[in-house]
């Protein structure tokens, strides 16, 4: 029986269908290794200071509502409990300390892999959790190898986790797993642009998201477009069970 845990982090501003589909595809591709996937909304993204970010509670609520139909997908709000910027190193270290015997896998795209040297302690991250690198359709395995060997000289090929995958074991511990999977070419930027233009965003986002955004329309518009906002609606308007409580009169500034 699989006992591994895969982690998918992101700003989720907002969460879109591509995020949920990616989590499910990883589960389906590695059923002997991964028991569930946890989505981790970033509380204070260090790479997006001062940008138009919805309040954490609303982003997390939307993620939870989107994952509710899928019992093997969960949302973890741990980054909201830490002060300061939300660094992947701190998050993975917390998981590793709490789950020392659980195989951990961190999901990222091939476009993120090449940015790892700029992340806090980026080259050390695979010592906490193996990387599952999901390429875009136009990214070849050769490009993955080149990027991996540039960051981790001495990485050597090992037995893959699944057919069609490729594994590189790293000299200081941990592995990179190149895992070609179907990916939906959706971005949160596209969703925000359509929503601000009053276009239909159904199918771009999970079913609960449009109504949750509409319930916080003035707040979302202020965050995403700088428009004046009224006080946010009550939590019960955001999610039927009123799971989260937030009272933000304007868009939070993470600068």
Average pLDDT for 134-139: 82
Distance CA 124, CA 134 (A): 19
Q: What is the DSSP string of 119-176?
A: STTGGGGGGTSEEEEE--TT--HHHHHHHHHHHSTT-EEE--SSTT-EEEE-TTS-EE
150-194 pLDDT, tens digit each: 999 999 999 999 999 999 999 999 999 999 998 899 999 999 999
Integer CA distances (angstroms), 19 to 79, 185, 248, in order: 18, 10, 26
Q: What is the DSSP string of 110-123?
A: HHHHTTGGGSTTGG
Residue 46 is predicted with a pLDDT of: 86
213 with 220: CB under 8 angstroms?
yes
Name the nearest CA neighbour of 219 among 3, 11, 13, 2: 13
186-216 pLDDT, tens digit each: 999 999 999 999 999 999 999 999 999 999 9
Residue 50 is predicted with a pLDDT of: 55
Q: How far is CA 127 from the centre of its chain?
A: 20
Distance CA 151, CA 136 (A): 20
Number of alpha carbons in the 13 Å side-chain half-sphere of residue 25: 18
DSSP letter at 4 equals E
Has this prediction a pTM greater than 0.85?
Answer: yes
15-33 pLDDT, tens digit each: 999 999 999 999 999 999 9
Name the nearest CA neighbour of 54 among 253, 194, 251, 254: 251
Integer CA distances (angstroms), 25 to 3, 112, 161, 176, 242, in order: 17, 18, 14, 17, 30
Distance CA 118, CA 115 (A): 6
Instruction: Identify the helix (H) or strand (E) that includes residue 41.
Output: strand 34-41
Cis? peptide before 14, omega within 30° of 0? yes
Residue 2 is predicted with a pLDDT of: 82
202 with 16: CB under 8 angstroms?
no
Name the nearest CA neighbour of 167 among 182, 181, 177, 179: 177
């Amino acid at each position: 029986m699989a006992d591994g845990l895969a982690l998918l982090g992101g700003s989720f501003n907002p969460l879109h269908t591509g995020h949920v589909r990616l989590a499910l595809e990883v589960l389906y591709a590695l059923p002997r290794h991964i028991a569930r996937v946890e989505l981790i909304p970033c509380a204070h993204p260090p790479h997006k200071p001062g940008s138009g970010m919805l309040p954490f509670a609303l982003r997390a609520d939307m993620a939870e509502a989107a994952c509710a139909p899928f019992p093997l997908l969960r949302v973890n709000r741990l980054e909201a409990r830490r002060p300061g910027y939300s660094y992947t190193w701190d998050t993975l270290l917390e998981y590793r300390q709490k789950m020392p015997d659980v195989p951990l896998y961190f999901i990222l795209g091939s476009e993120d892999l090449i940015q790892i040297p700029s992340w806090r302690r980026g080259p050390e991250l695979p010592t906490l959790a193996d990387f599952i690198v999901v390429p875009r359709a136009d990214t070849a395995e050769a490009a993955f190898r080149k990027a991996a060997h540039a960051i981790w000289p001495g990485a050597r090929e090992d037995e893959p986790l699944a057919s069609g995958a490729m594994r590189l074991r790293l000299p200081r511990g941990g592995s990179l797993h190149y895992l070609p999977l179907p990916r939906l070419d959706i971005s949160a930027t596209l969703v925000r642009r359509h929503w601000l233009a009053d276009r239909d965003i159904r199918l771009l986002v999970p079913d609960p998201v449009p109504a949750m955004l509409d319930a916080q329309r003035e707040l979302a518009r202020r965050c995403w477009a700088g428009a004046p906002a009224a006080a946010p609606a009550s939590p019960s308007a955001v999610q039927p069970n009123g799971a989260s409580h937030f009272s933000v009169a304007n868009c939070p500034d993470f600068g």
